[in-house]
Amino acid sequence: MYPVLAAHSLIDVHALKFYVTRPHDCPYLPGRLAVDVVADPQAAIARERISELFGLGFRRSGMFVYRPECPGCQACVAARIPVAMFRASRAQRRCAARNADLVIERAVPAYTDEFFELYCRYLGVRHAGGGMDDPTPESFREFLCTPGVESEFLLFRDAGRLVCVAVTDVLDNGLSANYTFFDPDATARSLGTFAILTQIAHARRSGYDYVYLGYWIAEAEKMRYKSRFRPLELYRDGRWWVWPAGVAEPPVT
């Protein structure tokens, strides 16, 4: 997934090694090349260290903990919700009410035929032709059931039928909305939004400060939903900036 080019020496999180990838196709913006800084995928990274990396704008995908550092491009901006400050919008409150009938369970990340069937349906509709729409049980396990990572599946059931799975990483100071897949036929429920609202509620109950949303990209239509969860904190120029509710444009550094 990440072809390594050279060692990276600009980050020092307690002597953890970092590498820079060769340029590869950007997964978010067509026609662009991306370069990532990747923590040593062979190293066992404790939760404390992963939490520090998330505080520096990193993200996890399978066994890779990475941050885009693309020459001439700063489109990918790490985003997190400060849960104590968050107030659901009217539309989000309606979404929560619409899904109040769902039963929510917590499970250890694992492969099951039930999970895999929903995952395949989701990718086939939402990511057709994107390179992920031909999954295998092995690719499911590698992507969503990574050994050594503190993570859980939040399961959403409608009268017993699985309609959504939110893969959630547990950090020292928050939760990370790692990946969510859901029934593509249940569009009226806005399950992606409801999954984030559930993770925010879970973080509040657990005393966490943040829910990390990965990267917000203004030019990427599929990423714009993240800006609806405000206030939102964005990582730019080595610090987190608050994007308040009611302000149309994000902070300019």
Question: pLDDT tens digits for 98-108?
Answer: 999 999 999 99
Predicted TM-score (pTM) above 0.85: yes
d(Cα 123, Cα 129) in Å, to the nearest integer? 9
Residue 239 lies in a domain: no
Q: What CATH number should be reported for the domain holding residue 119?
A: 3.40.630.30
* Mean pLDDT across the chain: 91
What's the pLDDT at 203? 98
pLDDT computed for residue 131 by the predictor = 57
User: Which residues pair with residue 241 across a beta bridge?
Assistant: 234
Is 106 in the same domain as 195? yes
Q: Is 215 a domain residue?
A: no
Query: Any idea what DSSP says for residue 22?
Result: P
Give the residue, 84 or 126, on which the prediction is more confident: 84
Question: Are 228 and 209 in contact, with CB atoms under 8 Å apart?
Answer: no
Question: Is residue 92 located within the same domain as residue 134?
Answer: yes
Other beta carbons less than 10 A from residue 15's beta carbon: 6
- List all residues 6 or more positions away from 244 whose beta carbon is below 8 Å from its beta carbon: 230, 231
Residue 123 lies in a domain: yes
**Are residues 132 and 33 located together in one domain of the fold?**
no
pLDDT(95) > 70:
yes
Which is nearest to 68 in space by CA: 210, 176, 215, 225?
A: 215
* For residues 75-84, average pLDDT: 97
Angle at 155 between CA 159 and CA 200, to 5 degrees: 120
Which residues constitute the domain of residue 129?
A: 87-209
Cβ pair 123, 132 in contact under 8 A: yes
- Are 102 and 162 within one domain? yes
More confident residue, 248 or 34: 34
Domain count, the chain: 2
